[in-house]
Structure formats: structure tokens, C-alpha cells
Amino acid sequence: MRYLALCTDYDGTIAHHGRVDAETIAALQSLRESGRKLVLVTGRVIPELESLFPRFDLFDVIVAENGALLHFPATQEQRLLAEPPPERFVQRLRERGVEPLLAGRCIVATWHPHEHTVLDTIRDLGLELRVIFNKGAVMILPAGTTKASGVQIALRELNLSVRNAVGVGDAENDHVFLRICECSAAVANALPSVKEKVDIVLEADHGAGVRELIRHMLENDLAQHGPPLSRRGVLLGRDERDEPVYLSPYSVDALIVGTSGGGKSSVATGLIERLHDKGYNFCIIDPEGDYDSLEIGVVLGGPDHAPTLDECAQLLCKPETNAIINLLGIKLDDRPWFFRALLPRIRGIRARTGRPHWLLIDEAHHLLPAHWQGTDVPSPDALAGTVMISVRPSLIAPAALRQLDTLVVLGEAPNEMLREFTDANRIPPVASATTTLASGHALVWSKSTQGAPKVVRLEPSRTERKRHLRKYAEGRLPEQRCFYFRGPEGKLRLRATNLMLFMDIADGVDDETWLYHLRRGDVSRWLREGIRDEVLAEEVAAIEQRPDVDPDEARRGIRELIEARYTLPAV
């Protein structure tokens, strides 16, 4: 189940003329009985709302006063999320004839045409307040307080992510909270500006529209609305037509294969980084400790400490934590059994919280080896939202491969990898005209679409870029890839083992030696063959080919080009 919470506006959404009908109350009850959570999001104050709608018990939490107050019906606890405006502000509005005027615990509200008086009073008193307009209503709140800020805190209290929430509303002040929900909907009576921005425009108005949405959630978890929601895909790379190729941020089931050193971990790291950038949560099962340096996750376990199942579960339950479970402390033969025991824990946490959104299993052949039987591996729905990484499909249990949809092949023998994957899935073989893959490219095929395999230029990871920068800027190249300043008579043998050292030596050698290498095109040749940077090589070649190149000007120009491409970003 993807959508574990419904966040709904009150007036104009579940309520019509301030009242909620019996059919809508019954639908809300059904949704709650399905195990999902209900969050009411309103600009009203609690006493006023309670006089209109006594069924607070339907909701796990109420975000009231346009995001300034949380009310928990089960305990009657209330929590202010912002500092209320000073009493002198309310008093000044009354003195200036602003009527009607409602003052909640934090919100202050009136109606058009009093907005000019409100704005003048805020300015005169020098207050940090913002004014929100909503169908003629004028609401005044502390800066930064919105329905979105309240919904985020409410979902965190329920141990849920906005990435597992559906939002529905109708008016201007709903924009912000609808935007942060994984799926946003508008009832038929919503303002045109709201309908333009949401994923789903419902056919019915008010409570009937919400009932329509609830019916779709209960029937198939909004599966029929999949295409509009695909915008949140995680970029894998670009195909030969330069069109983006995405993986689903939630329901991905993919296998990345290729020979050792072919870049599988780099591809997986890039996907994880982009998943994290979109606000999704992940868990990496890391048998070899390859992800310890990933800064966006918390590592559990290591060579000297085997993680326990309870420790893993505790870490995975933290709503804003990404887990990297290092299995180096577990014996190789025991790792499949540990994984088999851990997977039901992960499934249980997912059922309650929707997280982790992705489960990445590195060295999957260690955990789901080919000799395991169908009864040994998880049931078919256990691997939803999973990316596996291995050397080749034939090393993984066929029953596990049959649960995966997308194959991503790097390195050599792509057609062999395709055949192993289709054989395991008991489907006719497919083949590609591509027999070898260039570095940074992959062959991608999906068994659900049954299209032709496509070559994809992979999007690099930030981690890989940093590694690349350090390697060539500050690292130590192999001897055969170093640059040697020899001079016109070969008397020198000054070796530059990286780009930083190259620039320092270039600044120090005499002009005759420097110009000798420039005129021969040695610098651009080294950048092309030693550093393997074709773009930088072309830019430097343009300097080398100037008829009357000035040595100092060339030094400055080449240094600027190198620093622009190889200076590490600030962190």
C-alpha cells in the first residue's frame, strides 16, 4: 500500500456550507478502517469547528488555524506550532473598526474588504505576520506558518512521510499543502487555479468528490491515476534521442548487473542520491561496506560489529533516517539467513509507515544465491520497491528474478545478461543490436513493456564526481598516464602525477620548455589520453593552436579551465 494517509481540507471539500453529510462520514470511516490515517486540515479554530462537526474521532490529528495548531482527538491534546500575534495587534484592529474579527489561539481572521486595514496595522506595529486570502476570508498568521508546515509536523507525529500522503482541497490556502503531498487532488468545485496544479481533478464536488477519491484509494491505491503521478520518477539517464529515462520512485523493481569495476555501485549511488533529493527514504543492504561514505545515510554495522535485527528495525523506524546496513561483521554463509530474517521486519515497517521507499540490495547473489529454492526466498510482493545489484542474473535465485521488472546492464556481454534474465522469467528471449557498451552507458529493458532494449547514457552521481575530481586533481596517476616536462632537448624529467601538480610545475618551468610542449600539442594530448577529459582537451587545444601564444597568458588560461572543471564544490 502506497498511500497511507489522506489529508483533507474542511470547508468546500468534505464540508458543504460548513456541514459534512452522512455518506462522507461513512467513507472517511471506511478509509480509517483500512488502516490508513486521516488528517483534517482547516483554517478554522477548534471551538468553531467542533460546533459544526462533532466527529473529531474520525481523524488521527487535526491541523487547525491554517497550520498554527495541532489537535489530537484521541487525547484532546493541543499543540501550538507558532507564536500568537501580540494582543495589541488584535486590539488595534478592533479600534480601527475591523468586524467581524475572530482571534484563535494563534490565527486572527476577518473578511474582505478589511485587508487594507490589516496590512496597514501590521506595518504600523512592525510585526512579522503574513496575510493569507481564501475565498474572501483574510487570515493573519506568523510568518512561515501554513497548512503545509502543519501537515508536515502532523505526519511526522504519525510516523509517516508526505511521500505516502494524498491531499485534497478546493481553495487558495490549500495550494501549499497539496503541493507537498505525493498525490494531490481537487474536488470539482475547486478554484480553477487549484485544479491547474493538482494531479487529480475529481468529477464530483464537495464530499461526493472526496468519496470518489476514497473509493479509488480503497479499490486499487489510486493505480488508475498512475500516469499523472509519474512526474516524480528518479532519473536513470537519457536514451539515444536524449529523452529522459526514469525509474519509479516507489514501485521500482530493478536489477543492475555488470562485471566488477563496471560502475554498478556508481549507478546505484546516483539513483539513491536523486531519490533522496526528491524526499524519498531508502535502506541499503551492504554486504561489502561499499556505501559507508554515502553522506545521506546512517551506517549500522561494520567489520567489528554485526548489526542485530532489533537495531535494524529501530533505525528503519526513524522517519527521517536512511539506513545503510553493513554486513561485513556477519559471516558470508550467514548473510542469506540474516537477510531472510530481516526482510519480514522491513515489510512490517513498510506496511505501517510506507518506508523505506527503496530497498537497495548490493551483491544480491550473496543474499539470494541461485541455489536457493522458491520456498527460501521472499514472497512475490516482498521485493516491491527494490533495486538489486549483482554481477549477472544467473547468480541470483530465479524466484527472486521473477519478481523484478527492469534490467540495467553495464559493461560486457549485454545480450548474455538479457538471455539469463528472460530465461529466469520463463519468457521468450530478447536481443539488442548493441554488443558492447561504452563507459557510462547501460542497456535497459523492461519485461512489463516488452519494448526493444535501449541504450541509456547514465546520469553520474555526485559521489562519483567528487571521486573523479579528487582522483585527477589531487590523486596520483599511474606512471604511464603522468605528464612529463622534458623541454626541447629532453634535459628535464619533471613528472606531474595530477592536475594540481601539473599547474604548479607549469608555473615554475622556463618559457622555452612550456612553449615547446604547447606547440607540440602535448598538454591537450595528455588531457585527452591521460586524464581522459575530451572537453577540456579541446579547450586547451584552442590555446595551443594560437599562432603567437603568450606563455604567461597560456598558463593563466589553462589554469582557469582546469580549476573551473576540477575544483571540488564547497560543502
Q: Is the dihedral of CA 195, 200, 204, 209 positive or negative?
A: negative
Q: What is the pLDDT of residues 72-85, one digit of tens each?
A: 999 999 999 998 88
Q: Smallest Cα–Cα separation from 364: which of 383, 341, 345, 344?
A: 383
Under a CB-based contact definition with an 8 Å cutoff, are residues 247 and 236 in contact? Answer: yes
**Model confidence, pTM:** 0.75
- Nearest by Cα to 198 from 177, 174, 180, 178: 178
Residue 216 has pLDDT above 50, yes or no: yes
Q: Can you say how many angstroms the Cα of residue 170 is from the centroid of all Cα atoms in its chain?
A: 27
pLDDT, tens digit, 9 for 90 and up, residues 172-200: 889 999 999 999 999 999 999 999 999 99
pLDDT for position 307: 95
Please say whether the beta carbons of 11 and 44 come within 8 A. Answer: yes
Query: What digits encode the pLDDT tens for the residues 444-466?
Result: 999 988 888 999 999 887 765 55
Cα distances (angstroms) measured from residue 252 to each of 247, 374, 384, 461: 6, 22, 7, 19
Residue 536 CA to residue 42 CA, distance in Å, equals 56
571 pLDDT tier (thresholds 50, 70, 90): very low
Backbone angles phi, psi at 456, to 5 degrees: -120, 130
d(CA 129, CA 120): 12
Evaluate whether 271 touches 234 at the Cβ level (below 8 Å).
Answer: yes
- Condensed to tens digits (0 to 9), the pLDDT of residues 287-332 reads 988 888 788 999 999 888 999 999 999 999 988 899 999 999 999 9
Confidence label for 227 from pLDDT (cuts 50, 70 and 90): low
Domains of the chain and any CATH numbers: 5-82+144-227 (3.40.50.1000), 233-460 (3.40.50.300), 468-566 (no CATH)
Contact between 408 and 434 under an 8 Å Cβ cutoff? The reply is: no
Residue 8 binned pLDDT confidence (cut-offs 50, 70, 90): very high
